[in-house]
Amino acid sequence: MRITSLLALPLLAGVTGLVASPSTAPAQQISISFGTRLGPEIRVYSYSQERLGEWRSNYRHWTPVTLYDVNGRYYRNNVRGARPVVVYQYNNQYFFPPQEQGWNGADRRYDYRRQPNQSDYGRGERYSSDAFTFSARLGTEVGVLAYSEDRAGDWRNNTRRWTPVTLYEVNGRYFPKNGPGARQVTMYRYRNEYFLPPQDRAWDGSDRRFDYNHKPTQEDYRRARGHP
C-alpha cells in the first residue's frame, strides 16, 4: 500500500559537523500501570535533508514539540519518571533535530535544555523509500499493543470487560478515522489501551460483539508492540 508523499521541499547544501548532545546515564525502567494515560506511542524519525529540506531554509516550517521518553519509547503525555525530549513536528510526522553544529542555538523557539541525547538519536527511525505523510483527517495515531493476559486478564473470564473498536490501518499505523487506502481492523480497548485479540483458536467466534470480518491479520500481529 503506497500513498504519495505530501512533502516537496527543495534540496540545498549538505550538512557538516555534529551537535554535541549531552551524555546520559543508563535509562531507568519506569513501571507503567494498565490504563496510564500515555497516549499513543509516537514514532520519531531521524532528520533527513532529502525528506525535509536543508534545515537553515526550512526549520521555521517545523514546530517544536515536547514528547516524553518512557522506557525508550516516546509519548505525548507526561507520567512520573518520564524524561522530556523536544523534537520537531511537520506534516503529522515527528523527527529529531539536525545533528549539525550550526543548528545548536539557531532556533529560538526550541528548548535546547531538553534536546535529544545520543540514546535518542540512536533510536530515530530512518525514512524509507515508501515513507509518506499521513493526512491529519485520519486523526491522532493510536498505539496498538499485543494481547497480554497479565494486563488484560484471561480472555475467557474478561472478554466482556473489553470493548470492540474499529481502527484504520495505513502503512502499518493505526488511526481512529477512515481515509483513502485505509484498511479496517477490529480490536479491543480496555482501560485506555488498545490491543489485538488473543490468538487462541477457541477465541475465534466466541465474542458475538466482535466483527470477525475485519479481525487482525498476521501482519497486524507481527507489528503489535508489547506494553511499555
How far is Cα 174 from Cα 41, in angstroms, rounded to an integer? Answer: 11
Give the pLDDT score at 22: 45
Beta bridge partners, 144, equal 194
Helices then strands (H, E): number in the chain?
6, 10
Contact call for residues 53 and 9 (beta carbons, < 8 A): yes
Give the pLDDT score at 35: 58
Contact call for residues 100 and 106 (beta carbons, < 8 A): no
- Three-state SS for 18? coil
Give the pLDDT score at 89: 92
Give the pLDDT score at 191: 82
pTM: 0.64
Give the pLDDT score at 28: 63
How far is Cα 156 from Cα 147, in angstroms, rounded to an integer? Answer: 13
Give the pLDDT score at 46: 95
CA 66 to chain centre: 14
CA 27 to chain centre: 19
Mean pLDDT by 10 residues, the chain (228 residues): 39 38 55 70 90 94 96 90 95 91 96 97 81 75 89 94 96 90 95 92 96 97 82
Give the pLDDT score at 93: 84
Report domain extents, the chain.
44-123, 138-223
Name which of 148, 194, 199, 152 is nearest 175 in CA terms: 194
Give the pLDDT score at 125: 87
CA 31 to chain centre: 20
Give the pLDDT score at 137: 84
Contact call for residues 67 and 79 (beta carbons, < 8 A): no
Buried b (16+ CB within 10 A) or exposed e, 148-171: eeebbeebeeebeebebeebbbbe
Give the pLDDT score at 36: 66
From residue 86, alpha-carbon distances to 4, 64, 94, 97 in Å are 28, 6, 10, 9
